[in-house]
Amino acid sequence: MRLFRRRPKLPPAARPPLERDERLLAWAAAGNGEGDGVVVATNLGLWLPGRSHRIGWHDLVKAVWSGRELTVIPGEPAAERDGYQLVVDSPAERYLLLDPGDLPHQVRTRVTRSVAYTQQHALPGGSGRIVGRRISGVDGLTWMVRLDPGTPVDDEAVLAETDRLVAAARAATTPSDL
């Protein structure tokens, strides 16, 4: 007697074009009001309906599971700085998952695991979060500053302060014996 229900395999037509070292972890049929599709979690990121590319775990600035709906907010690059990137929130994307299986757990685990350092700071004219992320296949941390809504992206005072804060975060997370 089986005590658990075995999840059906992902239909071949719904399978995204995975890289050679990419493994499927979980999937769920989804609806987002603009047609149905499939949300697929792999070891490298999240494939969302209507997209021809994967969003890396390190590129998701927020993911929320309500019990029925998965909401994801990817980061959108706003400026490339010396050794880090400024990002702003892309519009939230919501997917109704009637049979989510292990997908919400995998999303939470993978996004959380990618974050090695995070600290919220006040900035001139707003605020932002300094984040050091792990990226599969990349040594060390990749740095970003997620600017809160309304924080000016091209203000010199904001840029000087984010430069200083990222440098301090890097110094705090670099082993002293290197």
Q: What pTM was computed for the model? A: 0.87
**Amino acid identity, position 41:** A
Q: What is the pLDDT of residues 24-66, one digit of tens each?
A: 999 999 975 555 789 999 999 999 998 889 999 999 999 999 9
* Range of lowest pLDDT (34-43, 94-103, 123-132, 157-166): 34-43
CA angle 53, 55, 56 (to 5 degrees): 125
Contacts of residue 54, defined as CB under 8 A and 6 or more positions apart, other chains included, come to: 16, 22, 42, 44, 45, 46, 47
- Would you say residue 17 has pLDDT above 70? yes
Q: How many residues does the chain have?
A: 178
Residue 20 pLDDT class (50, 70, 90 cuts): very high
Structure tokens of 43?
């070891």
